[in-house]
Structure 1
Amino acid sequence: MNQQDRSYKDKKVISIGTVSELTGLTLRQIRYYEERKLIAPYRNDRGTRKYSFNDIETLMDIADKREDGVQTTEILKEMRLKEKQRESEAEVKKKMLQGQLNAQFRYGRGRN
């Protein structure tokens, strides 16, 4: 998916300092969540991190869960499970669409 096809919420354009201001998290906390693979900022050639609005929402969710005492390993497991569910749902939708297209074209051919 190219940059133009992505939602503004997915574009990684926000600096770590701004993310810290918006979330109330320290730079150290944000870097720690990156180390734990809970967040994946874009890094340019100089290594500067850039985050998206979706990353900020994810960080806020992580912060809320940490405040509730949830360990980062559990948060990561939950995030991976949700990603697998999204992938599975996307695959089901793709198969349903393909089935509908196949049925439509088969139906259309038989009528001529």
Structure 2
Amino acid sequence: MTEQVRTGGPADARPVYSISVAAELADLAVPTLRLYEQHGLVTPARTDGGTRRYSADDVERIRRVSGLVEDGVTLSAVQMVLDLQDSNRTLTDANRELRDRNAALRKDNARLRADG
């Protein structure tokens, strides 16, 4: 059973996993991680001695790459898909924030009309 890797916080960006541990967490072979790195799909941190170190965020990205490859996306197209997914997530979050702000403004407007 592989360890669950949580992402989203500052600690998740800390490069702590060796390539073998990252491969196990992502349920992939080490050469596959090296291939993803060669294609620029993941860029692990390096120690002063040159050893790769992966973060929880890296492992999550590796899982995303692997899922796309399993779905038949070529490695050369994976970066474009990841970029589009990330842009979509950013736009969705911004849209949600704008809707929340709009609702708050409407509420304030209604309150001001009722007071005036």
Aligned residue among 16, 36, 39 for 2:39:
36
Please name the residue that 1:50 is paired with: 54
Q: CA deviation at 1:73?
A: 1.4
- Two-structure CA RMSD over aligned residues (Å): 2.9
TM-score (norm 2): 0.66
Q: Percent same amino acid at aligned positions?
A: 20
Q: Deviations over 1:52-103 (max 9, x none)?
A: 1x53343244335445653211111111111111111111111101101111
Q: Residue 91 of structure 1: which of 86, 94, 105 is its match?
A: 94
The question of whether the paired residues in 1 share the 8 Å contact of 2:36 and 2:42 is answered with yes
Distance 1:14 1:21 in 2: 10
Q: Which amino acid aligns with 1:20?
A: A
2:28 alignment counterpart: 24
Structure 1 unaligned spans of 5+: none
Structure 1 residue aligned with 2:66, among 63, 73, 83? 63
Kept in 2, the 8 Å contact 1:16–1:51? The answer is: no
SS of the equivalent of 2:54 reads strand
Aligned length: 104
Q: Give distance in 2, aligned partners of 1:94 and 1:67.
A: 33
* Compared CA separation, residues 65 and 45, structure 1 to 2 (3 A): closer
Shift of 1:30: 1.5
Residue 73 in 1 paired to residue 69 in 2? no
What amino acid sits opposite 1:74 in the alignment? A
